[in-house]
Amino acid sequence: MIYEKGLGIPNSQISTGLMAYTQTEVYQKSLVEFRSRFNLDGLVDGEVTDKQRERAKKKLDELKASK
């Protein structure tokens, strides 16, 4: 999508940014609290699985322990 818009952002930077964001407490909480996944346009684009929800709970526990 970003490439198609001609923004000139390298894939490596996109990957790094997404990796950093998906490790945040806010993102992990959203996986635990919401059933739906949302795409970059804010539209529902899938469901959070039980396995993903459990992984997010574990990550949140790790984040809390590191504070």
Count of the separate structural domains present in the chain: 1
Nearest to residue 58, comparing CAs of 32, 30, 34, 35?
A: 32
pLDDT class for 5, splitting at 50, 70, 90? Answer: confident
* Residue 40: inside a domain: yes
Range of the domain at 37: 25-65
| pLDDT tens-digit series, residues 21-62 | 999 999 999 999 999 998 888 899 999 999 999 999 999 999
CA 11 to chain centre: 17
Confirm whether pTM is higher than 0.85. Answer: no
- The confidence score (pLDDT) of residue 1 equals 62
Contact of 20 with 26, CB cutoff 8 Å: no
